[in-house]
Structure 1
Amino acid sequence: MVKKKLGNKYNFYAAPHPAIVAGTFVNQKPTYTPLGDFGILCAYPLHVYIASVHTHYLNQGIIDNLTFSVNIPNEDNLEKLDYVGMVSGHKTDKSQVFKYFIGDLETAPMIEEFPVTMECKVHKIERVGQNDVFMAKVENIYADEIYMEEEKLNIDKVNPITLFMDLSYRTIGKVIGRSYQMGKNYLKKHP
């Protein structure tokens, strides 16, 4: 197989991005922005990051409050998710798009209709390229009971969505294996 060198263009990045909606307050009103730049920094204790272009309206609220929410959507939320990404918070009031609730951090509005939400407290902000990268400790995770089974999230029920660089939203798909298990087969064949 011959590999073709594609350079570092964003549209060739073939891996999925989790599609999340970040939320915060700006001028005492909730505002939201969908982001694909989200991930885990540390599992114990749980820390995450979001990256948002430094000119986004959302960033102003995160910098002022040092808090944000991460809201995990599913297919039921796709239309509203896409809408808040199409319009700028600088020009459009997004505060009425979603019903929200407040947790322990009073400036991290979490979206009621999304299956899973997190409230996050910022501990570091870095500028990387055009993005502000907000690194934060997850203070609490909330999930609707219908997505739970025996005190665990059922990912198939949540059915989170991803964003690819061809601008397509996709669901995660079926389970094809378990981490730290599949490699045992390799070890059996190659002791």
Structure 2
Amino acid sequence: MKQNWKPGTMIYPVPAVLVTCGNTPEEYNIITIAWVGTICTNPAMCYISVRPERYSYSILKKNMEFVINLTTHEMAKATDWCGVNSGRDYNKFEKMSFTPGKANVVKAPLIEESPLCIECRVKEILKLGSHDMFIADVVNIQADEKYIDPDTGAFNMQQAGLIAYSHGKYYELGECIGKFGWSVKKKK
């Protein structure tokens, strides 16, 4: 038997990422985002959704660039901390001992401790209600070499210890149970 609930955000789990923004060290900030995702393959595009009252919102809107930094088990506490504290009150890079790195294409910093950093340039901002969606082109990706499989050249997500968010809790991603197309692969 299923229960009917009022409409809400029930598509879980979602990535828990740290989005970095700002064009100068004085402006750099980190915001924790769970409303994030891929929206197109070619051209590569993604989105983040941010409440207009958040400190990072005006920085994002002014500069129209950001970096999505994937988070790991080791970064989980900092990921939560950056989501419940404001950049108005803290320098989050200093407080969390994160190293602001140089992005290749955008001016926003990346987090050196992140295993995968996705540089983005905003194309459009959609006003939706509680959140505005920043639709962006992916303009570069920086991947930590220690997580790249030497045989396949693929990014090893399991080895990186990535985390996800579900209903107010953080989870480390677990064991791989299959790969794209495995359900229809012909047996030899």
**1:1-191 correspondence to structure 2 within 5 Å:** 2-10=1-9, 13=10, 15-25=12-22, 28-96=26-94, 97-150=97-150, 151-165=153-167, 167-183=168-184
Off by >4 Å, runs of 4+ in structure 1: none
Answer with 173-182 or 78-87: which moved more: 173-182
Mapped to 2, the partners of 1:18 and 1:183 lie a distance apart of 28
Structure 1, residues 34-68: CA drift from partner, whole Å, max 9, x if none? 11000001012210000011111111111111100
Mapped to 2, the partners of 1:36 and 1:106 lie a distance apart of 22
- Say if 1:26 and 1:58, in contact at 8 Å, map to a contact too: no
Task: Mark the CA change 1:14 to 1:41 in structure 2 (over 3 Å): closer, same or farther.
Answer: closer
Task: Mark the CA change 1:64 to 1:7 in structure 2 (over 3 Å): closer, same or farther.
Answer: same
Structure with a larger share of its residues in strand: 1
Identity of aligned residues (%): 26
- How many residues in Structure 1 have an aligned counterpart in Structure 2? 181
Task: Mark the CA change 1:132 to 1:119 in structure 2 (over 3 Å): closer, same or farther.
Answer: same
- Report the Cα offset of residue 170 of structure 1: 0.3
- Report the Cα offset of residue 156 of structure 1: 1.0
Gap runs ≥5 in structure 2: none
Gap runs ≥5 in structure 1: 186-191
Mapped to 1, the partners of 2:37 and 2:183 lie a distance apart of 24
- Say if 2:56 and 2:87, in contact at 8 Å, map to a contact too: yes
- Report the Cα offset of residue 179 of structure 1: 2.4
- Say if 2:106 and 2:121, in contact at 8 Å, map to a contact too: no
- Say if 1:18 and 1:162, in contact at 8 Å, map to a contact too: yes
Structure 1, residues 122-163: CA drift from partner, whole Å, max 9, x if none? 001011111111011111111111100132101111221001
TM-score (norm 2): 0.89
- Report the Cα offset of residue 6 of structure 1: 1.3
Aligned-pair Cα RMSD in Å: 1.8
- Report the Cα offset of residue 100 of structure 1: 1.2
- Report the Cα offset of residue 183 of structure 1: 4.6
TM-score (norm 1): 0.87
DSSP-derived class of the 1:104 partner: coil
Give the residue type in structure 2 aligned to 1:30.
Answer: Y
Mapped to 2, the partners of 1:183 and 1:108 lie a distance apart of 42
